């Protein structure tokens, strides 16, 4: 009987990981909607933490050895990971404002042009949300400001394109005359699509670069768009 209980707990631990891993692809393949996919994430966390607690109790109770101990330990580790990943995402979401449109120019955000038709059915509308979002960004991401370079616009434009390509974003448009680059970034697990527009313009003797990153779905981006802009700016600076 005790062996059957141990086997059940092992299955429980690995089941949590299976549910966790499957939630993203099932949404990305449009088999499940986002609400159900997130429900699977929660259940992966619940099952994961339950398996850890029960396995610990079982180990204290039965004190298994050898291969049995190793497999139970592995199942407990897997269960903990299945709990921790959704929990970490939840904590991150709580630590950042519930916004999904981030830009380095809050007064005059770069506009999406070529990407606009691709977002026709997106739950998040294309226009910038306005001052409420801007106020939350100022408080949470005060470091996100325009970049200025001594190089001419052509050089900075080519460097920006190199960064876009290096990051594996899908290039939608690049217009040197307008100083505009548009691309779409997709997250690995759920395949969320976030759109990026990069605007370049001359200001005096310098080239100014502004970036805007906007999610197609979700009220909160869990800080992803701000992180994307920071990473882009760092890589662009390194390319010039």
Domain boundaries of the chain, sorted by first residue: 2-95, 101-238
pLDDT at residue 96 is higher than 80: yes
Mean pLDDT of 146-162: 97
pLDDT of residue 68: 87
Strands (E), the chain: 101-103, 147-149, 170-175, 180-186, 193-203, 206-215
Look up residue 70 and give its two tokens: 């190793």
pLDDT at residue 3 is higher than 80: no
Name the band, by pLDDT with cuts 50, 70 and 90, for residue 80. very high
pLDDT at residue 108 is higher than 80: yes
pLDDT tens, position by position, 36-48: 999 999 999 999 9
Question: What is the model's pTM?
Answer: 0.88
| Assigned CATH for 101-238 | 3.30.530.50
Q: Do 19 and 82 contact (CB within 8 A), yes or no?
A: yes
Average pLDDT, the chain: 94
pLDDT at residue 190 is higher than 80: yes
pLDDT of residue 88: 93
pLDDT of residue 6: 83
pLDDT at residue 161 is higher than 80: yes
């Amino acid at each position: 009987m005790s062996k059957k209980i141990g086997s059940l707990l092992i299955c429980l631990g690995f089941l949590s990981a299976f549910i966790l891993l499957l939630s993203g692809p099932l949404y990305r393949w449009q088999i499940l909607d986002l609400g159900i996919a997130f429900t699977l994430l929660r259940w992966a966390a619940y099952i994961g933490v339950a398996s850890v607690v029960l396995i610990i109790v079982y180990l204290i109770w039965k004190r298994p050895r050898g291969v049995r101990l190793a497999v139970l330990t592995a199942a407990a580790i897997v269960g903990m990971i299945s709990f921790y990943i959704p929990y970490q995402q939840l904590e991150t979401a709580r630590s950042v404002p519930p916004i999904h449109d981030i830009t380095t120019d809050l007064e005059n955000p770069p506009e999406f042009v070529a990407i606009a038709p691709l977002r026709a059915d997106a739950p998040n509308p294309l226009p910038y949300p306005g001052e409420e979002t801007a106020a939350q960004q100022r408080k949470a991401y005060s470091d996100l400001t325009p970049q200025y370079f001594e190089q001419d616009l052509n050089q900075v434009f080519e460097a920006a394109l190199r960064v876009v390509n290096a990051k594996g974003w899908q290039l939608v448009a690049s217009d040197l005359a307008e100083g505009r680059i548009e691309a779409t970034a997709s997250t690995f697990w759920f395949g969320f699509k976030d759109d990026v527009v990069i605007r370049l313009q001359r200001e005096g003797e310098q080239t100014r670069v502004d970036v805007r990153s906007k999610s197609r779905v979700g009220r909160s981006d869990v800080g992803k768009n701000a992180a994307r802009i920071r990473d882009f700016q760092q890589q662009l600076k390194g390319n010039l």
